[in-house]
Amino acid sequence: MNHDLFRKAHDGSREIYAEYGVDTEAVLERLSAIPISMQCWQGDDVTGFEKAGELSDGGLMVTGDYPGKPRNADELRMDMEEAFSLIPGRHRINIHALYAEPGSKVERNELKPEHFSRWIDWAKEQGVGLDFNPSFFAHPMVREGFTLTSADEGVRRFWIEHGISCRKIGASMGMELGNPCITNFWIPDGYKDSPADRKGPRMRLTRSLDEIFSQKIDPECNRDSLESKLFGIGSESYVAGSHEFYLGYAIRNQKLLCLDSGHFHPTEDISDKISAILVHLDEILLHISRGVRWDSDHVVILTEEPIAIAREIVRGDFVSRVHIGLDYFDATINRVAAWVIGMRSMIKALLIALLEPSGLLRDLEAEGDLTARLALMEELKTLPFGSVWDRYCLRNDVPTGRTWLEEVKRYEKDVLSRRD
């Protein structure tokens, strides 16, 4: 790696961006302060540690069986450390309730903070924050695809207790680590075909959520978030927790709304929703994914959608109000590489947005010069952000260009290939 060559390239880029009133060094400082929450479930195919084998009972479909899957939580954390060594900046880890380490069988409605003590201790060592998710899937108490909306009071009670437990776990994580944990609620409840009663499940969901959130928790420790979905496997015609349902609930109760970029119609972009929702809410959560036709959980790459999302965050001055996480799982490729590709791609999208002279664009718009606005937006697309990215990687002592893949291949040979 020729560091002098990269530095010379950045010096040229810095001069080019300066002509547009952009200070690349100041941009990199801003970028370093934006954490992204990396999802632990990419590392083990959403299996968790409750039982061996693939998920069932309403679990999530994961394609592929790439060798080297971690066999326990220590190996999963080791893989995440490897990924973080190749990703510039300091970020967060997002974990699901089924990644508890209780030492013996504990039902999900009885989970406690101590069952995640090893995650908390590890996060302290790594200097990263934790985010959390109840796991309303892959369990015998998911009856006919229903959890919090179930007409069976025993089923609904089980999942209400699970949600209450998870908020306490999130609060403990936030308190121990000194920064708020976002506990995000997503449920799969819905119907494959058109239901006769759309209202009933949503009324039961409202009552369930009201009970789960009845206990006040310090927002400096835990913040609650609600994640919608347009449809899922087995719920193609109706999902109780739709975007409109959670939007209304979040605004009425001042909860965070989670927008997952893979949970809407394939032609629907979430970037426009950000400013619309932040008129009414203080904060939102984003789950960045990549939808391919009906499947929403492909590895994030640098396409127009994450760039548009990042631009909306920066242009609206929403950096402190938008929490960014990734949400995908792909077992057809090296799992560590999947993390690195997705994280680096989202960081690049943020860099592109931060390098934009948004003030100049707003001024042109305010003056009514829409021709110059469009022309400038197009010219900005070919500016040399790549050398600024390389500069950021060098500053964070992580590989530039494709050289990170060499380290992943070495890790695969020395570590992953030795796993059964």
Find, among 3, 69, 67, 14, the residue nearest to 42 by Cα: 69
What pLDDT does residue 303 have?
A: 96
**Quick check: 39 pLDDT over 60?**
yes
Active-site annotation holder among 327, 330, 356, 412: 327
Confidence tier at 197 by pLDDT (50, 70, 90): very high
- Known catalytic membership, residue 273: no
Share of the chain above pLDDT 70, in %: 96
- Known catalytic membership, residue 263: yes
Q: Is 386 exposed, middle or buried (0-12, 13-18, 19+ CB in 10 A)?
A: middle
CA 180 – CA 47 distance, rounded (Å): 26
Find, among 5, 4, 11, 32, the residue nearest to 88 by Cα: 32
Supply φ then ψ for residue 305, to 5 degrees.
-65, -55
> Does residue 235 contact residue 188 with C-beta atoms inside 8 Å?
yes
Active-site annotation holder among 96, 287, 323, 348: 287
- Known catalytic membership, residue 379: no
Active-site annotation holder among 82, 260, 312, 390: 260
Active-site annotation holder among 79, 131, 189, 227: 227
- Known catalytic membership, residue 159: no
78-96 residue pLDDT tens: 999 999 999 999 999 999 9
Active-site annotation holder among 263, 273, 323, 348: 263
Q: What's domain 35-347's architecture? A: Alpha-Beta Barrel (3.20)
Q: Which of 137-151, 164-178, 282-296 has the lowest mean pLDDT?
A: 282-296
**Quick check: 55 pLDDT over 80?**
no
Active-site annotation holder among 41, 119, 159, 186: 186
Active-site annotation holder among 139, 162, 229, 255: 229
Residue type, 107: E
234-250 residue pLDDT tens: 889 999 999 999 999 99
What pLDDT does residue 59 have?
A: 55
CA 186 – CA 179 distance, rounded (Å): 22
Chain mean pLDDT for the chain? 94
CA 59 – CA 161 distance, rounded (Å): 20
- Known catalytic membership, residue 272: no
What pLDDT does residue 52 have?
A: 53
Residues 6+ apart with CB under 8 A from 93: 37, 38, 40, 80, 119, 123, 128, 129, 130, 131
For the residues 331-355, what does the mean pLDDT come to? 98
Confidence tier at 3 by pLDDT (50, 70, 90): low
User: 304-315 and 358-366 are packed helices; what angle lies between their axes, rounded to 10 degrees?
Assistant: 70
Residue ranges per domain, the chain? 35-347
- Known catalytic membership, residue 297: yes
pTM (predicted TM-score): 0.95
Q: How many CB atoms lie within 10 A of CB 132?
A: 26
For the residues 263-279, what does the mean pLDDT come to? 93
For the residues 124-153, what does the mean pLDDT come to? 96
For the residues 216-245, what does the mean pLDDT come to? 94
- Known catalytic membership, residue 265: no
- Known catalytic membership, residue 269: no
Confidence tier at 112 by pLDDT (50, 70, 90): very high
- Known catalytic membership, residue 363: no
On the CB side of 268, CA atoms within 13 Å amount to 15
Active-site annotation holder among 50, 79, 283, 297: 297
Supply φ then ψ for residue 275, to 5 degrees.
-70, -35
